[in-house]
Amino acid sequence: MRFDQRHLLGIEPLRPDEITTLLDLSEKYVTLNRQRDKRAGTLSGLTQINMFFENSTRTQASFELAGKRMGADVMNMSMQASSIKKGETLIDTAMTLNAMHPDLLVVRHPHSGAVDLLAQKVNCAVINAGDGRHEHPTQALLDALTIRRAKGRLHRLSIAICGDIAHSRVARSNIMLLGKMENRIRLVGPATLMPAGIAEFGCEVFEDMNEGLKDVDVVMMLRLQKERMDGGFIPSEREYFHRYGLDAQKLSRAKADAIVMHPGPMNRGVEIDGTLADDINRSVIQEQVEMGVAVRMAVMDLLARNLRARPKEVLV
């Protein structure tokens, strides 16, 4: 089992065998999480600080649960109430926390690249919990685990990623991960929601949902990221649902056993029909949440092993 990373800043630096190592270890935590006694001492003695500069429900809750189940001392910093509001820079805040000797720092930030920058200034392991529209590696890993469990493999699948690709860090991390594992990726959405330089992604691009979903194994829907839009990317939500919202009729174009995914939070009736999202025969949205805790446990477990293998650096 080899995992050579000091931080988890993105999917980009990971090798396929490291991804497999992570997913295999996650399976052990899925089993643990289904037991009455969910404790493991893996992070015993270590301190985990969660710094969320953007709102989060699933990601923050699962990192907190993951750390607690593995015996870490977990602290959630309320960034709304922090000194950032008084004008302290991100780096000053990070250096202050660093002086308290955390071992794992979990960071979500609205600016792309902010988490990489922070990782250069601290001497603990840093995990990117989403930076702007750049990367959200643990989301892509939990999506991969969900797909592997549902389909029995994580290669040679046809996967449609649909909707607001331009603003989505989930899409970017998934494109990288699923590409590394040799799947066929289709990006489906209006031209206004496709990122610049789309050709470099090496994916097939479709503007028509009925064409884009034809015979795919996996349909991954994305939230319309209204907070990252400044102006008219779509005519109206009604029109968007009509053309790009996933419903039973559009899903009928995919393979009969295709699964439906969404990272949450969902806008029901905008990017996905509410009844379909709740259909346990097609939708794996709740499994994604369950896999989220297990994957975050595996990530912190592997980073902690690497931390323990290094001599402790003295602060300067």
- The residues of the shown chain that bind ligand NCD, judged by CB under 6 A, are 58-59, 130, 136, 139, 169-170, 223, 225, 263-264
CB of 223 to ligand NCD, least distance (A): 3
Q: Which is nearer to ligand NCD, 47 or 173 (CB)?
A: 173
CB of 258 to ligand NCD, least distance (A): 21
Q: Which is nearer to ligand NCD, 179 or 264 (CB)?
A: 264
**Residues 123, 104 contacting (CB under 8 angstroms):** no
Q: Which is nearer to ligand NCD, 42 or 139 (CB)?
A: 139
CB neighbours (10 Å) of residue 21?
A: 18
CA–CA separation, 67 vs 75, rounded Å?
A: 10
CB of 178 to ligand NCD, least distance (A): 16
CB of 108 to ligand NCD, least distance (A): 7
CA–CA separation, 255 vs 174, rounded Å?
A: 20
**Residues 173, 11 contacting (CB under 8 angstroms):** yes
Q: Which is nearer to ligand NCD, 136 or 250 (CB)?
A: 136
DSSP result, 188-245:
ES-GGGSPTTGGGG--EEES-HHHHTTT-SEEEE----GGG--S-SSS-HHHHHHHH-
Using left for φ > 0, alpha for ψ between -120 and 50, and beta otherwise, residue 215 falls in left
CB of 263 to ligand NCD, least distance (A): 4
